Amino acid sequence: MRIYRRDTGLYEEEQEFQAGLLRVLYETVPGRVLLKLAIQPAVSRLYALCQRAPRSKKKIRPFAAQNGVDLSGWRVDSFGSFNDFFTRQRVNHTYAAADELIAVADSRLTAYPVSDKLRLRIKHSEYTLREIVGEDMPLSPFAGGTCLVFRLAVQDYHRYVFPDDGETVKTVSIPGVLHTVRAISEQERVYARNHRVCTLLETKHFGPMLQAEVGALMVGRIRNHSVRRFSRLQEKGYFEFGGSTILLLVPQGVAIDADILEKTREGVETKVTLGEKIGKREDKKTC
């Protein structure tokens, strides 16, 4: 999978976590029988319990070595379990100005224009935004805007933040089965079937936004904090073990950085860091 790095201007091939196992599950008959069991939320919850057991600590160093996780600055023996390591918390920062949009998570980012028909193309499959966010969220504020897709790999920091100052208007949790969010599961229409938590935001600098966290295979829980008023970079929540995705709908008038748009058109994800500038509010012209 090709990823574009903004810091070097180069492309890299990303190693997929447990790619062989996923191919068995999604591409073989015996695997698809097992998949029917594996995608059930109860199975993922059981798996999550295993990751919280003290003996799971022995997995930390091999996992970090295999996936290129930088452990400098962390005392591995301070983690009580693998889940403690996976959900570790750090201090976030940004150099972005107040009218600049930031990445809400360490991730691989793509950006898609919201069409009149409100359809979104992800991983070569089309989904309506309504299928993704459910029936209880308004979509009209985002007509002509952009849908940002932040895909978190297992090696990423799995906590995420609010993109601006503001307040929550409405939150809806949509249950579902848990598929991997990678391309191998396209036929399962994963974004429409996975567990999602959708939050409508009213922000200070960008107006209405809709932020949706999407669970994936072997993610035990999406853990969002109960927040009414929030500030930019304030933690919104975190994912337990697994790769996951966040969708952020922004209204018309927010210009996404040109390199992100260009790479998306090429079918390439752009690697971004939480707090990194990814766009800017367009000032209204006056006569």
Catalytic residues: 106, 244
Instruction: Please provide the size of the chain in residues.
Output: 287
State the Cα–Cα distance between residues 94 and 102, nearest whole angstrom: 8
* Cα 211 to Cα 55, 167, 168, 195, 234, distances in angstroms: 35, 12, 10, 14, 14
Reported in sequence order, the residue ranges of 215-275 that DSSP labels E, i.e. its strands, are 222-224, 229-230, 235-239, 244-250, 254-256, 269-272
Contact between 83 and 48 under an 8 Å Cβ cutoff? The reply is yes
Radius of gyration, CA atoms only, the chain: 19
**H helical segments located in the chain:** 19-27, 29-38, 41-51, 60-67, 82-86, 129-133, 190-193, 258-265
Q: What 8-state DSSP symbol labels residue 81?
A: S
Contact between 198 and 223 under an 8 Å Cβ cutoff? The reply is no
- Concatenate the DSSP letters of all residues of 145-185 into one string: SEEEEEEEPTTS--EEE-SSSEEEEEEEEE-------SGGG
Contact between 225 and 197 under an 8 Å Cβ cutoff? The reply is no
